[in-house]
Each structure stands twice: as structure tokens, then as C-alpha cells.
Amino acid sequence: MKQPLWIINSTLLFLFMLLLGFVYFTQERIPYREDIQPEVYIKPTKEAISKVNIEKIWQNDLFNTYQRPPQPIEVVEQIPLPLPPAPQAPAIPAVPKPEFLEPLDITLKGIMILVNDDSRNRAIIANNKLEREGLYKVGDMIEDAQLLRIFNNKVIFIRSNGQQEVLYLREHDAKMDPAYALIGGWNEVIQKVTENNYLLSPTAFSKRITNLAQFIDMLDLTTVYKEGRSIGIRVGQVAQDSLGALLGLLQNDIILTINDIGATDTASRFTLYKIVTAMGEDDIITVTLSRNNQNVSIKYTLRDFKHSEGATPEPVEGEQEVQPPTPKSIELPPEKLEEEQVKVLKEQYKLAPTVKQIRARERSNMVHRGKLPRKKEKFKLTE
């Protein structure tokens, strides 16, 4: 009985051990708790790798394929190119000051006008220096001046410096010229009595100023607006001894009213022009203007007067007034006119020939000098 129990006990022990081993190896393991305290990290050092000289393998080539590298070519240093000079701004040439030449000492005595051809017009001019007269046409020279244009009452010269001079046949023509109205001579039209009182000659004024546009242009008048509404007209630039200066006006004066009538628009200005031109002797024109934000009133009394320096004595009763002779345009007789035309044609060849004249001259030379006449050719053949 003892032997079977031993076998049974051994079998049970083996099974128990086998069961314990199975339970031990099949159970889940609890992970190990690591320490969270940081540690110093040490970077691992790399071992030095021995370098192999590859050139020795090439130099000890078994197949003799190694070729030594060529020696570097020595580059000769070139001479450096010089730098270009720094750019310099060209010097601005000094503009010469305009030189004013004294007027020519000559007098216009007469003018001959041809209606059909302006180039045949002639002017009789007296040279006061040489004390002689001559007949001049367009293009003729007197000293350094060239005759530029001949009109029926004046001639125009151009000087060597570009200065232009005008000679009038009569003094009255000079005063009636529109260009004369822009320069001096207003003392014969306006005279100052007191600070804001003036005498204005209506006759002389109407001769110098022919329309409203000319008056506006001479005073350089422009409309003035305030808060979008016209309040008057502003006086522009006023030159010395000009119309505006002798009228007592200053630059930037604003004309508000004339005889209590506003000059705010074109219609009112034209109405004022009609009223003023219709006034008679000893009437007064009152102009109210704004000067430096202050209202100033200027009065103009219409009265014809004679300038004190240029006044002439009145003729005595029973004596006739002697008027100085005025030069007149001269008309030549037909014989003289034909001679003058021939003279002009002769003087024409002194100038440079035109293209048409050169071609005509060449054609004439080819016809008359390029070959012999037919009669002479026949005569030579008969010989």
C-alpha cells in the first residue's frame, strides 16, 4: 500500500508545482517605479577616426594611371584701370545784362506807300548827325539799325541788340498808338489837386482810352469774392508814372463802388462806363475803395486843362493861329517811280540769289555757253 501512495503523492506534487509555475508566469507584472529625479546628461564622445591619405593610393597606382595635377598658372597682376573722374555739373553761363542803346538821332520826314507791294514802300529819313536825307526801303541799315517795317504813319527799326525803335510821322500818331497808352505821358490827362482829389481831362482821357476793355487791362482789374459773393474789383500791379499811379490807386486796392454803384459784375461795370462817359464838364466821379481794410474815398473832377509845361499862349483877336507844318506822305511822279523800280531791281542782285535764280542762271549758261550757236556750226561745216 505504501508504493501506490508514494506515486500518488509524487504525482500530486508535480501537478502542484506545475500549477504554481503556470500561475507565476501567467500573472501580470507590476511595472517598476522609476525615479523622477533628473540626472546630468553626458554627451558621448566620438572616437577619432584615422584619416587615410588617398593620394598615396593614387601615387602607388598599379596601372600607372595616376597623373600629377598641373601646376597653377601664375596670373600676372594687371594694372588697375583708373577710375573715371567724378561728374561735375556744367557751370551755368552768366546771362549778360541787357544793354540799352541810345535812340537814333534821325527824323522821319515822309513815307511813300504802294498798295500792291509792301516791299516797294519807301521812307524819307533825315540823319541829324550827318545832316542829310535819304530814301530807305525795308532791309536798309542806318548805323546799327535795320529798317524792319514801313507803315503809312510810322516805321519800325531793329537795333543790333534786339532793341526795337519806332519813328512816327506825326506826334499825334504817336499819341494815338495803342502802345503809347501803356507808357508815360499821363500828366496831360490827370493832375493831383489834394491827397484824394484829382482833375481828369475827359477829352484827353477818351483819346488815350478808347474802350472799357483797354481800361480794365491797363489797371489789371480782377473780381474779388468774399464768402462766395462778388464785392468789387481788385487793382493789379501799378507801375511808376502809370495810369493807376496817377489815379491815386495802389496795388491790391479793392474798388467797391463808383458814384454809389457797385462794380460787382460785368453788367454793372458796363453801366458805370456808360454813366461816366456821359458826364459833362465839372462833374465829379466818387470812387470808394478798400485799402488795408479801411474805406478810402477818391474824387475825380472832370475838367479839360492844359499842362503847365506844354501850355501854349492863346491867340490874340485879329491874329490867325499859326500852326507848325506837319510832314506829309510824298507821292512820286510816274517817271520817278519807274526809275525807283529800276533801282530796286538793280539792287536786288546784290543780295544772295534764291534757288530759283540759281537754276535760271544755270539753264541760261547751258543754253548760251554750253554749245555754239547753230549758225556758227553750219558755218564751220561749210568751211
What class has domain 106-176? mainly beta
Q: Which three cell numbers stand for residue 217?
A: 487791362
> Which pLDDT score, from 0 to 100, does residue 177 have?
66
- pLDDT digits 0-9 by tens, 306-347: 654 444 434 434 434 434 344 344 445 556 656 665 565 555
Do 294 and 321 touch, CB atoms closer than 8 A? Answer: no
CA distances from 132 to 43, 127, 153, 171 (A): 123, 6, 21, 22
Domain ranges of the chain: 106-176, 180-302
pLDDT above 80: residue 186: no
- pLDDT digits 0-9 by tens, 197-236: 998 888 888 877 777 777 887 788 888 888 888 888 888 8
CA distances from 297 to 148, 196, 277 (A): 48, 7, 20
Sheet holding 164-168, edge to edge: 141-142, 145-150, 154-158, 164-168
Per CATH, the number for 180-302 is: 2.30.42.10
DSSP letters for 119-148: GG-EEEEEETTTTEEEEE-TT-EETTEEEE
- pLDDT digits 0-9 by tens, 13-56: 999 999 998 888 887 777 777 777 888 877 766 665 556 677 77
> Which pLDDT score, from 0 to 100, does residue 231 have?
87
When pLDDT is averaged across residues 258-266 and rounded to a whole number, the result is: 85
> Which pLDDT score, from 0 to 100, does residue 308 have?
45
When pLDDT is averaged across residues 237-257 and rounded to a whole number, the result is: 84
Do 199 and 305 touch, CB atoms closer than 8 A? Answer: yes
From 72-76, 104-108, 207-211, 322-326, the region with the lowest mean pLDDT: 322-326
HSE at residue 137, side-chain half, CA atoms within 13 A, is: 13
Higher pLDDT, 313 or 71: 71
**Measured distance CA(174)–CA(153) in Å, rounded:** 9
CA distances from 28 to 16, 20, 24, 25 (A): 20, 14, 9, 8
CA angle 353, 356, 357 (to 5 degrees): 40
Q: Which three cell numbers stand for residue 221?
A: 482789374
> Which pLDDT score, from 0 to 100, does residue 327 have?
39
CA angle 147, 152, 154 (to 5 degrees): 50
When pLDDT is averaged across residues 112-135 and rounded to a whole number, the result is: 81
**Measured distance CA(225)–CA(56) in Å, rounded:** 103
**Measured distance CA(20)–CA(12) in Å, rounded:** 12
pLDDT above 50: residue 348: no
When pLDDT is averaged across residues 276-283 and rounded to a whole number, the result is: 84
> Which pLDDT score, from 0 to 100, does residue 315 have?
41
pLDDT above 80: residue 165: yes
Percent of the chain past pLDDT 90, that is, above it, reads: 2
Mean pLDDT value across the chain: 75
From 79-88, 176-185, 289-298, the region with the lowest mean pLDDT: 176-185
- The helix (run of H) or strand (run of E) holding residue 222 is strand 222-226
Predicted model pTM: 0.40
DSSP 264: -
DSSP 111: E
**Nearest CA to 327 among 136, 171, 143, 121?**
171
